[in-house]
Structures are given as structure tokens and as C-alpha cells.
Structure 1
């Protein structure tokens, strides 16, 4: 059953501060500011040979996407983008990945939408020589590769050779010195080009940067990059960013030097909770972007004007919903949509996700980094909008990955930090038509989390609601709801996940593989008959959990694939197909809807008076309606307080009256 809780008893002090700080601004006062680095248009886009064909520079060099040349090309791409950004340069560099269907699409869409001319440059050394001859590349910074046994993005220092982060020092200094970064084992190849060594970073570490050697680095953002990985170094150099790595004191000091609400690019190593907590408590948020190339040219594409609106096929109109008082309504929401690199990587072209055979056959909620894509990957956001079906619903994953309940906890004025975070993205969300957010906390209904929900709701007047998950388990709230108010005093639900489709987590209540989750939902539907609040719930779908077709008649957990239960046969699935297996098992009377429809139905059932007041007020202010119809809505509002909503029939009658004002005597929305 969905339980309810209200605000004031939970956190009077912080809530009062948010009320004072959180007056809602005009809905379209001015264009929202970018908080990702902005990159202007350019005349040309230079395209390298495919990344897999990049040459080895010394015998033990792996070559390709993780070789020494890739690190150097990333720095060259950063210098070229920096020139466009600061000195009217005319060319970006695109490091090609033609065999990756998604990145080949973004290359072609970037060229098509920007109008940049493509210039192929198959020889990377010739390209570096060319850029040196024209004065862009002044020399190189020498670094020592981190060759320890630690896996990529595991916590440093690891085993084996001594940990070395000098490549992050080199990356941090490259913009100021106009230098490419060079592995010490490849130095002779670059001296042969006539390039001078401008800095030897090998004996230096990230702590050295913070000893007054970071003055040229931006305070608007930071990059957390594993020294073993070349990705995102173009973006770091082009934005004059500081680069560090590891959950440690150096990173803590680096985060504290930033302006409030700075995006953290890349990803940190080791324990995910500790890494995300560290940046949340200092008032920042992660973008999950550590496996990305080519963001500067992609970010130079402005918003696509002819792209449809977000959820143009699937956005429900509350007054057009049928008044169903018998069905059990449930929704499914895919996790991990904060992940910018997934959206740009294989999300759209993977058979488990956007290209799944069963996608479009039932309503599905997709979390996505909507705010981030709008600023840095307009072609990808346009693609998402264009290819969505009427059964696809996109909700924004919180404008980054941070813990709302810990946000700004280590700062002197935490309430101001929370309000500033909401203010940073809310207006962009209003303009994009974002109606549902999902937020992940460590304690989803504590004082700190409630403060963030309140700050957001007060700045997003058309928010249908917020979906809440917890770090572990995602469905810790067990379908419970809390309520906050928007700036007009309308109650907005924060509805926690009741179920989790997650392999290997059946020990946690209401979690498990498709057969178990379907059984749990069917049981809840039977138990909730006659209980209005109990007829609405949702399942968070763990994007990376793996399942296989199986006979579950003897073992309801037989579908999950884990270390202890390895895959049998060839076929296993993540994402959409396991949701379909779940949906196919539902009992009659269980209706699958998208997340926004679920929230509106929940609001109408649980708080009918307040929800209908809001909808009637919107009718009274809707200038597309005639003056007579708006007057009817005002009259309806005037009589609202005298009405009873004790029974579903009374709510249905009131809803029908508003429908007739909105849609005419039939009370039905006409097809377009």
C-alpha cells in the first residue's frame, strides 16, 4: 500500500529556509544559463582515422583507443577546441569511431546539423605537425603512464608499479602551455617533429597542482579522470579544467576550490557511494561521462529547432484520463539515466534498450540526462525525441548524479546550496517540458532529501511529481509517498519505488527477477482493492541486471543471472525484455501506464480536491479557451470548497465537469 507523509513535522528548520529562499521565478524570464562548457560553431571538422587504427608508438604500446597516440590526440583535440572557444578558431577535431554505430551517427549528425565541412586527416603525426607549424601546438608535456595492476576506475593506488597520476597534471597544464601530452616512452617521436619539451610532469602529482599551480584552471567545473584512460581529456583541456582522481584529500580540496554547483565530469575511482557522497557534500554533482570522446564538436551544435517536444507522443493530459476506480496502476522505469556516456554510447543501438524487440509494445519509463544532453549533445536529445514511440516516456534523472539528502551538507549554508542547485536546472526543465524527475538519495525521505524536493517543486510549477529511489536498495521506500508543495501551494507527490527488477537482490523485500516481481505486483493488486492509495505503484528496473528465459514453476528466481547462478545457454537479456516477461504475467485488472500518468492518477485519487483545484485554475487561465469557458472554470473554482470528495463517484463527477469545460459536452479529447 502507498503510505503518505506530510512535510512540516519532518524538518521545520531547513524547510523554512527553503521556503524563504525558494520563491518561484517567472516561468520564461530569460534563457537558462549553461552550466556545461559552451562551444561555438566552427567552419570545419577534422576527422581522424578510426580509433582502432591509431598506430603504436613503442613496442609495449597497446595502440588504438588506449594507446599513447590516443592520449596525445585527445590533447590536440582539446587545443583545437580551445582555439575555437577562445580565439575564433575554425576547426574542431573528431577522433573517429566508425565501427561504433552510435558514435558514427553523432559524427554524421554533428556535420549535418552544424554545417561544418568535413576534412579527413588519416595521418595523426602529419596533423600534429600541421598544427605545430601554424603555432597552435607550442610543444609537449611529458608524463609517465600509470602501469600498475589496478583496473580502470578502480580505486588508486592499486598493486604493482607505483601509482602515477602525472598525466592528470599534464592535462591540467596543457591549455595554458599550448602543449600536447606525450608518454615518456614516445618522446623521440615528437622531438623528431621538432617539438620542444615545455614541461616534465613526471615527478609531479595532483597535490602539486593545488599548491598554487592551478591558477589557470577553471573553478566552474572539474574532471575526475583515471590516469589509465584517455577519454574526456579533450573536453578537460578545451574547458581549462583541473584533473584529479581518487576519493582522497586532494580531490576534497579540488572540489572545495570550485564555485558552488559545479558539474563534475568523468567519474571517480573505487566505491561509488563514497565518491558521490564526497562531491554531493561539497555542493557538486557528477555527470557520469568518463568514457566519452568528441564532446566539444558535438556540443557546438545548437538545439535542434525542428525536433519535437519531449514526450510529444506520450504526455498525458490529466483531464483526458478515464476515471477508473477499479484497476491497479503500475509503471516501470529504467535506472541509470544520469549516465551521459550511456546515452551517447550504445543505449540507442543496443538490443536490450532502445532497440529491444519489445520496446514500444507497452508503456515504459526511460530515465535520461535530459538537462545535460540539451547543453552538450543536442543531436542525441533530438534523436531521443524523434524516435520515441507513444509508449516511451522520458523522465529526467535529477540533472546529474548526486545525493539530495547530502547536498551541501559540509557547507556553511546548506539551505542556500540546495536552493541554488534547484535554481540551476529548474528553468531549463520548464522550457524542455520536463514533468517528472527521478532522484536517488541515501535516505529518501529524510530532512535533507525533503528540502531538495521542496526547492525543485517550488520552481517547476507543472511538475507532475518526483519519483524517489534510494542507494540501497532502490525500493527502500516500499511505495511510500511524501508530499511537498509548489509555489502556488499545490501538493506534489514524491513517490518511492515499491518494487525492484534486480538480479541477485531477492533477499531485499519486493526485489527480484520478472516472475517474482510480477507475483508481488499481482498480490499487491489483490490486497489493495478498495484502498485508493494502494492501487498505484512502480518498479525501478536495474539497467545492468541480467536475466534468462527459464521455467519458474519450481523456482521463482530461476530467471536471474548472477555469479552464483551463471547463464545457461546463449541468450540472456537486460532492460526491456525482462520487463515484458513481467508484464505478460500480470493478472486481469493490472494496468501498465507511463510514470506521468501514474502520478496524475495517484494525485486525483489521493488528493482530489487539491488536484482538481489546480487543473481548474489552469483552465481559468488558459487563453486558448474562450472567455465564457474560462468564466465557467472560475465559477467552478468558486464552488469547490462546498463540494464533498468522500467517494470516488463524487470525484468522478467533478472531474467530468472540468472535462466538459475543457473538451466540450462530450467530455472527451478529440484526436489530432
Structure 2
């Protein structure tokens, strides 16, 4: 009787513990049970790591002490911010005009950040006074810029010696010096000047406005007006940190404050904006990429070329592109390492899946362009992540979790907290944008792959993200498999990989499933995308097309195609034509349906053979179907 009593007490305690787990809460206490422990119950939902620094943090982190007061500059919201020949442009007018004024504000903010880091000034600067994006509002509020201690001014007013600054002013501390550009006649002078700005701790002034600054007592310390980016590399390489790089197109100002604040090098691929006809800096970019520390981030984007033209160079060097062009990144990332929280992705417990549905075919939809970090901060939540059809189609989302958690902790927290219960969050593509089959081939590929995989694993495990997305020129190649193996070796909590092909279609993998084995002996599926929902205009291709077209393709699949991942092109929009079977009409101009709502237009047309599931459930069904004994063995280890 006593033994029975003890057993009942144990059973009740066990049930109580299991029931008390709040699996819906995205913020947990960091409890971890990452390995197999046969001496005590192993809860599947506890398979995550506590927050800790395991060497996975790579984003520059320069601002350690927040300013006590702030200026807010009108700079980036001006519609002509990157125009080089604005009629009537005048730097002395409040609001300024064109790229000349934009670079002035960016450089003023950047050198002010350097002065803050050196404890030389206590007043910060924030661009832009008119910005209405929620991510900017959140970050500004976090650094107390919404308090009474901030003042709105145009950038040129802060450089005027008659202006009574709040704390003496950065120009008084660092000296009233400037770097000269000629952005109209020498496009590369803008890129050179940004690097020279942090070397000389000086603002950027263009020939258009030089007289104003000379008349107000400013001194030219460097002339970039006739310089090229190659000149900049030869002169300033030794003064730049090699833990990150910025691709900064000629005749633009975005990310200049980030370059200056972190003493980075900036390089443009095209010598002229948005075209390669004026020449390119291909060999220079290769040299700069080889100079970077392994697994460094390359921020920015180069227009006017195929994206693979520069992403491929970055990828081969063993570094990763971060597509972003936001402002005030040092403030977004302020002291980010100490701000990391145990915010957990919602996941399905594989025990809860009904594996007896063997008569069904299963399809999962997920959104493309997850590694676009700028989009994660600017439009993703507002325009895609709150779509009312998300739950209906169990939409999954690739997010650049490993980067956004560092670049913008508040935005990452928002994305995690807003996750719907039926969705899957996917780490996309694993540290940034690169191609897994050529990653690191210009260096020691094995070391570069393994070190990146370890960093990404730490981010995924600490936020309970179980699925990885990869992109390759050929996702079924041996080189791609080598990359998959590295990520699986580094992370025994990784449950599956979704693989896409860069071109000519994300879906060239044809839905084929590859397998790699983790260190615990379990086979992990690599599921290639079968189709993509993509507005191709007046036609569809074999694997890309309208929601109606993809539905028809799925309905025509044989019974062998039991599991299908369908990627939804983020930038495609469609018209809802109801139940019509027209395979082109949804592409007509004026359509505004995208994301999960576009997936719903496809799902509504599927026959009864199909069941829509999220990506994580698709992976577990694949594992149970093709590796039943292994999968049952795994599930026996956990509750």
C-alpha cells in the first residue's frame, strides 16, 4: 500500500509539472534539457539552451553608454536625399537638399557616435525626426529619445558656430574640420569621404557648399573630391576595423553613420550608381573580402547588377551579406549582448502529431526573403506578419533571427512575441545571405563552414528555432550537402532543413528529399521546395506561377509526392479571382494580395487529398514516413 501511495504521489507530481508548462509563452526562464538524460523525465518543450555568449555575436557594438540628451536630425526622410543635382539646393536652408546634405547629416551623426564612445560628448544624434516606422519608434523610445531632453534641428544648424549646442557640441570637441566631396562629378568621392570621415573625425562637405563652411571657420583636412575607392583602400585600410564591411553604392548616404561609428571600410561594386557601364571594383572587392575576419558580415546592397554578382563574391570568401540600409543602427543595437532574452519560438511537440493520416498528402507554405534584415525592421511585421490568413494556411516564416536579435533586439522580441501558434519560424539562411554550395571556397571552407554553423546553432538553440533554410546554386550538389552536414553536426536540436535554389527557380529541387545524419545518429531531412507562388507577369513557368496555377500543379501530383514545401515570393502581388481556374488572371496589374493571403488563394483550390500543415509538422511527418524506427526511438526519449 505504501509503495502504491508513493507511486501515485510521483505520478501526480509528474502530471502537475507537465501541465504547468506554459508552452505558449515566448519568454521562458532559460531552463534547459538539451541532451538525453535517462535518470529524469526529458520534456521536448525544454529542448533549448539558456542565453549565453558562446562566441556567436558578430554585429559591431560600439555604443556602451547612452547619451543623456539628443538632437533629432531632419535628414533621411527628405525625398531627394540621394539626388546630386537638386535645383536650388542650399545647405544653409533648414532641411538642406540632396545627397550633399544627406552625407553631412550622416557624417555628423557618425563622428558624434565616436565622441560618445570616447566619453567626449554626452548629447546623441538620431536620424530622422519624421520617421514613423514602428521599429524606429520603439528603438528611439528605448534610448529615451521621447523624453523632454531632445531637440529637433537640421544638420546644417548643428554645424553653425552660432548655434548654442546642448553640451558644447561635437565640432567644438573634435575640431571644425571637414572632408571634401564632389558627389556630382565624382560618384566615388562619396564612398571615399565616408571612410575618411572616421579617419579624420570630420564632417563631410561637398564642393557645392564648401564656401558656407569656410566662411564659418571650418578647415578642410582631406580632399576626396578627386579620389577613387581604390585610393581609399590604399590610404585608409590600416585605420579600419576588419570585423565587418559595408557595400555602399556610389552617390548614396545610407549606412554612412554605421561605417563611421564602427570605423569600417566601405566599398562600391559599381563605380557609378545603379549601372556597371562605368566600370566595377570587382578585384578590389575580392581583396577587401579576403582581408576581413572569417565569418564577417557585409552590410548593404548594390543595385544595378544581378544580386549573385556580389553575393557570390562574399559567399566564396566565407562571409555573409546582410541586406540592410537602415539608419541609427548603433542605437538599435545599443549594448545588445546584455539585452538578449530567452525568447522562445513556438514549436509543435512531435508527440501531438497524428501520424496515422497515411492517406493524406501534406503541403506547407512559407514566405521568401527571410534573410533581408532591413525588411525585418521595415515592413515585414506591418505588411506580412499580421495577415489574418496566417492561421488559416499555417504560414511559416523565414526570419534572419541570428542577425536581427543583435542588430535590433526590440524588433526581434516583437517578431517572436507576435508569432502565431500554428506557424513555424525558420532561421534564414543561417547567418546572412550566401550560397551554401560555394561558401568559403576561396579560403579554408571546412573551417569557415564549421565556425559559422557553431555560431548559428547557438542562436537557434537559445531561441528554440528548430528549422534552418539554406540557398544554393544547386541544393542537391555534394557541396551543398557538405554545408548541410556542418549545420547538423553543430546542432543536434536541428530537426530539418528547407533548401531552395537561387536560379532559375527557387523550386528547381523538385521537392526531392536528401538526408544527413546528426551526431546522435538520427537522420535529418533536407526538403527542397517543390513549387513557388510567384507573379511572373503574362506567363507561368514549370515550377513558378499564380496561386491557381500552383494549386493545379499540386492537384496533378502523383501519390508519391506526399510532402510539398511551397515558397511564396514576398514581393509578388495578386488579384483574387475567387474560384476561377484561370491560371494567369491573378497576375493582372492592381492586385494587392500577397504573403499568407496569396497562399490561401492556392490552398482553397486544393483537392481533399491535401492537408495544410506548417513546416515543422511537415518535417516530422517526413521523418516518420521515411525513417519510422528512428523517429519512434527519438520520441521515446522525450515527453
Q: What band does the TM-score fall into relative to the shorter chain?
A: 0.7 to 0.9
Of residues 214-223 and 500-509 in structure 1, the stretch that sits farther from structure 2 once superposed is: 500-509
CA contact (8 A) 1:502 1:513 kept: yes
Q: Which residue of 1 aligns with 2:284?
A: 250
How far apart are 1:390 and its partner, in Å?
1.6
Q: Does 1:42 align with 2:77?
A: no
Q: Confirm whether residue 286 of structure 1 aligns to residue 311 of structure 2.
A: no
Whether the aligned pair in 1 keeps the contact of 2:405 and 2:412 (CA below 8 Å) is yes
Q: Which of 366, 379, 396 matches 1:365?
A: 396
- Say whether 1:581 aligns with 2:581: no
Shift of residue 100, structure 1, vs aligned partner: 3.1
CA distance in 1, matches of 2:131, 2:261: 26
Residues 54/364 of structure 1: CA separation in 2 closer, same or farther (3 Å cut): closer
Structure 2 SS opposite 1:483: strand
* Cα deviation 1:82-128 (Å, max 9, x = unaligned): 2334547544321125353335433444336x998751232423323
- 1:144 corresponds to 2:182: yes
- 1:137–1:510 distance in 2 versus 1, CA, 3 Å: same
Q: Residue deviations 1:417-443, cap 9 Å, x none?
A: 221221232212211222111111101
CA distance in 1, matches of 2:228, 2:316: 25
The answer on whether the counterparts of 1:223 and 1:265 sit within 8 Å (CA) in structure 2 is yes
Aligned counterpart, 1:32: 54
Q: Is the 8 A contact 1:356 1:576 kept in 2?
A: yes
Separation (CA, whole Å) in 2 of partners of 1:388 and 1:118: 35
Q: SS of 1:286's equivalent?
A: strand
**CA distance 1:554–1:309, shift in 2 (3 Å):** closer
Where in structure 2 are there 5+ consecutive unaligned residues?
Answer: 1-47, 270-280
- The alpha carbon displacement at 1:207 in A equals 0.9
CA–CA separation in structure 1 for the residues paired with 2:80 and 2:393: 47
**Where do 5+ consecutive residues of structure 1 fail to align?**
1-25, 148-161, 562-566, 620-661, 663-672
- Deviation by residue 1:351-403 (Cα, 9 ceiling, x = unmatched): xx124343333311111111111111011001112222223332111220001
**Residues 298, 306 of structure 1: CA spacing in aligned structure 2 closer, same or farther, 3 A cutoff?**
closer
> Which residue does 1:394 correspond to in 2?
425
Contact 2:525 2:619 in 1 (8 A): yes
CA deviation after TM superposition for structure 1 residue 593, in Å: 1.3
Q: Deviations over 1:605-662 (max 9, x none)?
A: 1111112222323x3xxxxxxxxxxxxxxxxxxxxxxxxxxxxxxxxxxxxxxxxxx3
Aligned-pair distance for 1:345? 1.3
SS of the aligned residue for 2:71 comes to strand
Range moving further from structure 2, 187-196 or 540-549: 187-196
Alignment of 1:498-647 (within 5 A): 498-504=530-536, 507-524=540-557, 527-528=558-559, 531=560, 534-550=561-577, 553=580, 555-561=582-588, 567=589, 570-617=590-637, 619=638
Equivalent residue for 1:497?
529
CA distance in 2, matches of 1:106, 1:133: 29
Contact 1:307/1:385, CA 8 A, preserved across alignment: no
Contact 1:81–1:91 at 8 Å: present in 2 too?
Answer: no
Once residues 93 and 592 of structure 1 are traced to their aligned partners in structure 2, the CA distance between those partners, rounded to angstroms, is 49
Tell me which of 81, 89, 92 is aligned to 1:61: 89
Shift of 1:137: 5.0
Task: Give the drift of 1:187.
Answer: 1.4
Instruction: Verify the 8 A CA contact 2:507 2:532 in the aligned structure 1.
Output: yes
Which residue matches 2:312?
277
User: Following the alignment from structure 1 to structure 2, what is the Cα–Cα distance between the partners of residues 169 and 288?
Assistant: 21
Instruction: Say if 1:301 and 1:54 are closer, same or farther in 2 by CA, change over 3 A.
Output: farther
CA displacement, residues 244-302 of structure 1 (integer Å, 9 cap, x when unaligned)? 1115111111111111111001112412111111111111110001x211111111064
Once residues 97 and 538 of structure 1 are traced to their aligned partners in structure 2, the CA distance between those partners, rounded to angstroms, is 43
Which of residues 437, 441, 444 is equivalent to 1:405? 437
Distance of aligned partners of 1:66 and 1:607 in 2 relative to their CA distance in 1, 3 Å threshold: farther
Equivalent-residue separation in structure 2 for 1:500 and 1:133 (angstroms): 53
Assess, with a 3 A threshold, how the Cα gap between structure 1 residues 41 and 322 changes in structure 2: closer, same or farther: farther
- 1:334 aligns with one of 352, 357, 367: 367
Residues 513, 124 of structure 1: CA spacing in aligned structure 2 closer, same or farther, 3 A cutoff? same
Aligned partner of residue 190 in structure 2, secondary structure: helix
Tell me the alpha carbon deviations over residues 466-518 of structure 1, each in whole angstroms, 9 at most, x when there is no partner.
10000111001110011112222211111100011011186532321000111
Residues 404 and 89 of structure 1: CA distance in aligned 2, closer, same or farther (over 3 Å): farther
Find the residue that maps to 1:462 and give its secondary structure: coil
Whether the 8 Å CA contact 1:49–1:122 is kept in 2: the answer is yes
SS at match of 1:588: coil
> Alpha-carbon deviation of 1:59?
4.3
Separation of aligned partners in 1, 2:548 and 2:407: 40
Q: Please name the residue that 1:196 is paired with.
A: 219
Partners of 1:100 and 1:64 lie apart in 2 by 20
Q: What is the distance in 2 between the residues matched to 1:204 and 1:543?
A: 39
Q: Is the 8 A contact 1:368 1:394 kept in 2?
A: yes
Which of 230, 234, 239 is 1:216 aligned to?
239
Provide the rounded CA distance (Å) in 1 between the counterparts of 2:391 and 2:342. 18
SS at match of 2:469: strand
Instruction: Verify the 8 A CA contact 2:548 2:582 in the aligned structure 1.
Output: no
Q: Aligned-pair distance for 1:29?
A: 10
CA distance in 2: counterparts of 1:606 and 1:66, whole angstroms: 60
Corresponding residue SS for 2:143 = helix
CA distance in 2, matches of 1:497, 1:283: 25
Q: 1:308 Cα shift? A: 7.3
Compared CA separation, residues 53 and 507, structure 1 to 2 (3 A): closer
Give the Cα separation in 2 of the matches to 1:64 and 1:355: 37
Matched residue, 1:135: 173
Residues 304 and 378, structure 1, Cα contact 8 Å, conserved in 2: no
> Is 1:440–2:471 an aligned residue pair?
yes
Corresponding residue pairs, total: 559
**Which residue matches 1:265?**
299
Could you tell me which residue of structure 2 aligns to residue 648 of structure 1? none
Change (3 A) 1:390 1:361: same
Q: Structure 1: how far apart are the matches of 2:132 and 2:96? A: 14
In structure 2, the residue matched to 1:459 is: 490
Match of 2:250 in 1: 227
